Amino acid sequence: MGSKYINRICTWCLKLGLISILAACQNLPSQQGRSIETHITADTPSSLAYANASLVSEHKGLSGLYPLDDGHEAFAARIALVRAAEHSLDVQYYIWRNDTSGQLLFHELVLAAQRGVHVRLLLDDNNTVGLDNILKALNQEPNIEIRLFNPFMHRHWRALSYMTDFARLNRRMHNKSITADNQATILGGRNIGDEYFDMGKGTLFVDLDILAIGPIVNQVSNNFDRYWNSASSYPLNGIVHPRHIKLQASMPIFKHRSFNHLRANSYDNAYNRDNFANRLLDGSLDYQWAHLILVSDNPDKALPKNRRKVEATQSDNNLLIEPDTEQPPVIKYQKASLTLNALAASVVEPQKDLLVITPYFVPTQTGLEYLQKLREEGVKIRILTNSLAATDVAAVHSGYSHYRTPLLKEGVEIYELKNQGFLKGPRDRAFTGNSESSLHAKTFTIDGQQLYIGSLNFDPRSARLNTEMGVVIQSPEMAQFMNQAINEALPYVTYQVKLTPQGKLEWTETNDKNQTKVYHHEPDTTFWQRVWVKMLSLLPLESLL
């Protein structure tokens, strides 16, 4: 046998040995001894409870919501909520950037803990790269507990972990919420990061949250407990060893190169300008009152199928949140089911109009057939998603591109956001530069009667792999306002995709002078971008998108 063959065999043996070692080290720590915790009761006295009491009693059975469609105000609302907390903060996020907004909010959690607030922070571990030292320092605070959802045991070789534990690590927690004293909550589509709060010089995300008070808050708190105590949530110290901590929670926040003092000042100015904290605590926020239905996945959805069956035998609780005795059930939930099933059970079937706003639109064949059925019944359907120029995930665009022609043939209207579609208003260019915009909001309206806001994308990943949550808002006023606002903006911030008489795609742009321009390929893109998406569209990726 030649030496080159011996070298190949040795190389493969080394690779197999490395994989075996990784597999041996991949075992997750035991959950034995982990505490099972629940949120505080809604009648616990607090400043937020006092501020909300008369408002909630005046609107019995309804929840108050305040839309957060402006990035600066969305950040100010989070700071105000953390500062208003007196007993507890339950915080759950998919992405938490180690940038200016992320570090400022970490610092606020530390200050809250130091004044006696019990902080529970649950982060999906897929996006905590580079955060281990800060998380360890925060976790040393007496009143801060951190858990990681579906964690990576290899902190420096995460990609290799997929080789030995892909079935689990491919499933992520996409939920986003922050709740103070079980009295007020913010939930929706935003992660924590400068780009989600309209700050930075890269791509900025157009997003949507709500701040809510009333019955919905206790339901969100119950939902958080289920995730916090789930089989996929691991205390930080079992994953990231606390030894060699050089940072203190009061120190690390402002000593990272990604922190920008000018942006911090801009955030501070926005907080003071909005006067959000005073409005939150004196009850003067302009809440809209409606019946809200919380829609949330079972956290067991994030378990591989073999483990999911084991966990299912340990509990027969098929209802995520028990309804209040005075209210109808407000959670639609089936164990290990798709969010879309729960969502479908929570809304009325469209009879006249369906508006879908989603950054990632991959309807699959099942979704295509459903939309075709609605069109046959005469339902007007409008889809707003990202253009190729605006998307931050080209692979998803490749999956979406298959469906444009069949949808257009059925009479579905498709609009694609321009890469600067929502950046034409006045804004501080010192902090946004020539930033582009990308749609990140996930919402839809039905017949001008119901509105959904949450984390759910209309793609296979949201339906089958990631956990999702959101609220169905039964408010004709809000649904019709959303429809009107979108109708007014669509011609100027999007390209409308149409079919030519020959069956070819074309993109129509309207400027502020009502002049139109027609493109015969994806606007504002290069030849190589289009080639790359075309190549991706030939690969069997749809189930992963």
Q: In whole angstroms, what is the distance from residue 511 CA to residue 421 CA? A: 11
3-state DSSP assignment of residue 120: strand
Among the listed residues 118, 291, 397, 440, the single catalytic one is 440
Q: What is the DSSP letter of 319?
A: -
Contact 117, 89 (CB under 8 A): yes
Q: In whole angstroms, what is the distance from residue 509 CA to residue 494 CA? A: 7
Nearest by Cα to 356 from 307, 403, 294, 393 = 403
Which two three-digit tokens encode residue 499?
């079919």
Active site (annotated) includes residue 165: no
Q: In whole angstroms, what is the distance from residue 342 CA to residue 333 CA? A: 6
Active site (annotated) includes residue 440: yes
Phi first, then psi: give them for residue 146, nearest 5 degrees. -125, 135
Q: In whole angstroms, what is the distance from residue 257 CA to residue 14 CA? A: 38
Q: In whole angstroms, what is the distance from residue 272 CA to residue 470 CA? A: 29
Among the listed residues 39, 136, 174, 291, the single catalytic one is 174
Task: Provide the residue count of the chain.
Answer: 545
Which two three-digit tokens encode residue 304?
């591989």
Active site (annotated) includes residue 521: no
Nearest by Cα to 222 from 346, 66, 329, 341 = 329
Counting Cα atoms < 13 Å in the Cβ hemisphere of 52 gives 31
Q: State the pairing for strand pair 353-357/380-386.
A: parallel
Among the listed residues 176, 332, 397, 418, the single catalytic one is 176
Among the listed residues 99, 125, 165, 181, the single catalytic one is 181
Among the listed residues 72, 291, 332, 442, the single catalytic one is 442
Place of tokens 């098929």: 318
Active-site residue set: 174, 176, 181, 440, 442, 447
